[in-house]
Amino acid sequence: MVKAEVSSILQTRLRDPLIGFVTVTEVEISPDLRHAKVFVSVLGDAEARKGTMEALGRAQSYVRTEVAHVLKLRAAPEIVFVYDASVERGARVFELLAEIENERKKSESGSGDKGDE
């Protein structure tokens, strides 16, 4: 529920122009519900990521208050935003796999032509 609510807050209620396209990928909450790590991926280059993470840092108390209010929590969890590079790593793996597949197809077509001679 925290993940869905934080996503909603980031997409609909924050008005900071420095916050780019952000996706909440995971939320880890301590057993006592006092601390929440919100992992986010950010679309864009390094400068856009840096600006977005700084803006999210400034918005932590607002997000904390909104989450506690909407979810009717007795104590608002301390929220920390953490950049999640797993989406980028996954995209890079797919890119490398596509390159390997293209190289395999090139080598198969090249060896097939020589066998016909």
Q: How confident is the model at residue 94 (pLDDT cuts 50, 70, 90)?
A: confident
How far, in whole angstroms, is CA 82 from its chain's centroid?
Answer: 9
98 and 109 in a single domain? The answer is: yes
73 and 38 in a single domain? The answer is: yes
**What is the number of domains present in the chain?**
2
74 and 90 in a single domain? The answer is: no
More confident residue, 11 or 73: 11
Model confidence over 30-56: pLDDT tens digits? 998 899 999 999 888 888 889 999 999
Q: Which of 20-24, 95-99, 100-104, 111-115 has the lowest mean pLDDT?
A: 111-115
92 and 61 in a single domain? The answer is: no
Instruction: Give the pLDDT score at 95.
Output: 85
Model confidence over 106-117: pLDDT tens digits? 888 876 555 454
More confident residue, 20 or 93: 93
Q: What is the pTM of this model?
A: 0.72
Torsion, Cα 74 78 81 82, to 10 degrees, reads: -110
Question: Reading across the β-sheet that carries 35-42, which strands appear in turn?
Answer: 22-29, 35-42, 78-83
25 and 75 in a single domain? The answer is: yes
74 and 44 in a single domain? The answer is: yes
Contact 64, 79 (CB under 8 A): yes
Q: Please, which residues have CB within 8 angstroms of residue 55's CB and are 6 or more apart in sequence?
A: 14, 16, 18, 19
35 and 52 in a single domain? The answer is: yes
At 15 the three-state DSSP class reads: coil
Which of 65, 58, 46, 45 lies closest to 17 in space, CA to CA?
58
Instruction: Give the pLDDT score at 88.
Output: 76
35 and 71 in a single domain? The answer is: yes
Q: What is the CATH number of the domain that holds 42?
A: 3.30.300.20
79 and 89 in a single domain? The answer is: no
Owning domain of residue 44: 2-84
94 and 40 in a single domain? The answer is: no
